[in-house]
Amino acid sequence: MSWTEVNNRYNDDKLIEGCSLFGMMNLSGERFSSRNPVRAIANMHERGNGLGGGFAVYGIYPEHREEYALHIMYLDRDAKKKTERLLKEDFHVNFDEEMPTREAKVKDPPILWRYFVQPRRRQLTKDDDYVMEKVMKINTQTGKAFVFSSGKDMGVFKGVGFPEDIAEYYCLEEYRGYMWTCHGRFPTNTPGWWGGAHPFSILDWSVVHNGEISSYGINRRHLEMYGYRCTMQTDTEVLAYTFDLLIRRHHLPIEVAAQIIAPPFWNEIDRQPPQRRRLLTALRQTYGSLLMNGPFSIIVAHQGEMIGLTDRIKLRPLSAGLKGDFLYLSSEESAISLISPHLDRIWRPKGGEPVVGRLGARGVKELLVRSEMQ
């Protein structure tokens, strides 16, 4: 009997245990092919249903390292024309092309184009803030155009299909990166469409997610105060924007951001030493609208760092493994063992405590929030 038959025996359209996550990072920065990441995520095939798959890859555009790589999906040609007029107004477009694809088992692909751009220098804001603002402008004003990747020297590749089919469609065997995050989706409450597949990304931040964000409404409203617009029709989008806001814009360390997204319960906070109790209370009072309510496990990536995190009582699975310079994060230990059967270490992180791999660290640093924030 298959995993799906065991966990969804009544053919319910909400299979909340579904979705598969996998992340693989070389901590010394050595770039590697898609072979092992694709094998690992394909090993969890039955956790999805073909309504979404995707990859975020870092270090793939060394020849365009100083340019923002915009991956854009268009639902029709008029949207492409309108968007390209906006791009020429706001950016120097140094190179653009249709994204290389091949025939594969994917459903109704949109027009996919990529642009390597630099902001025009008349702006007063920082480059990252300027690019974020223009991404939101395209996603909300053009109607049928969506920027699904906008970082430097990284790219998101996603769509409607199983992840191994998405890898085939985007010709991912031709790319090499030092970090790959992967997702196979079983949509819980949101439609399966190209923009709604994972990863979700803004600038060089990307997030893959298993679970459900039941606080999506209040999270979205809080983020809208800072200029973020949710247009991808799924709850996970708020996670990508939250990490960008807390870490890039508010300059908080990841261990503090984790305490905002997956904080201790109030009765746990009340039992903490005075200094730590004051800190955790201040975080809840200041950022209470960014608490992610509901079950989740996530892999978050940006340049030089891969982060694994679960909700505070760990209602979704996450395993971590280490072999030499490679850090692995996965929904299932079996996916890690498939590509690295003789690990130096394998463990299951505690709920609400992030595991962080940093480029150049020559190993993984497991950030134990409770000890480091005291």
How do residues 248-283 score in pLDDT, each as one tens digit? Answer: 999 999 999 999 999 999 999 999 999 999 999 999
Residue type, 261: I
* Confidence at residue 187, expressed as pLDDT on a 0 to 100 scale: 60
Residue 313 vs residue 125, higher pLDDT: 313
Q: Tell me which residue of 53, 104, 111 sits closest to 81, measured CA to CA.
A: 111
> Side-chain half-sphere of 93: how many Cα atoms within 13 Å?
16
Domain that holds residue 38: 3-372
Q: What DSSP state is assigned to residue 43?
A: T
Per DSSP, the three-state class of 301 is strand
Neighbours of 5 (CB within 10 A): 10
pTM above 0.85, yes or no: yes
The alpha helices in the chain, defined as continuous H runs, are 3-7, 35-42, 77-90, 127-141, 163-169, 216-224, 237-243, 254-261, 266-270, 274-287, 333-339, 369-372
* Confidence at residue 188, expressed as pLDDT on a 0 to 100 scale: 61
Neighbours of 281 (CB within 10 A): 14
Residue type, 107: K
**What's the rounded Cα separation, in Å, for the pair 277 and 275?**
5
**What's the rounded Cα separation, in Å, for the pair 141 and 45?**
36
* Confidence at residue 232, expressed as pLDDT on a 0 to 100 scale: 86
Indicate if 230 belongs to the active site. Answer: no
**What's the rounded Cα separation, in Å, for the pair 77 and 69?**
21
- Catalytic residue, chosen from 19, 171, 182, 230, is 19
**What's the rounded Cα separation, in Å, for the pair 55 and 41?**
10
CATH code, domain with 229: 3.60.20.10
* Confidence at residue 118, expressed as pLDDT on a 0 to 100 scale: 95
* Confidence at residue 61, expressed as pLDDT on a 0 to 100 scale: 97
Average pLDDT taken over every residue of the chain: 90
Domain count, the chain: 1
- The predicted-structure confidence for 281-294, as pLDDT tens digits, reads as follows 999 999 999 999 99
| Percent of the chain whose pLDDT exceeds 70 | 90
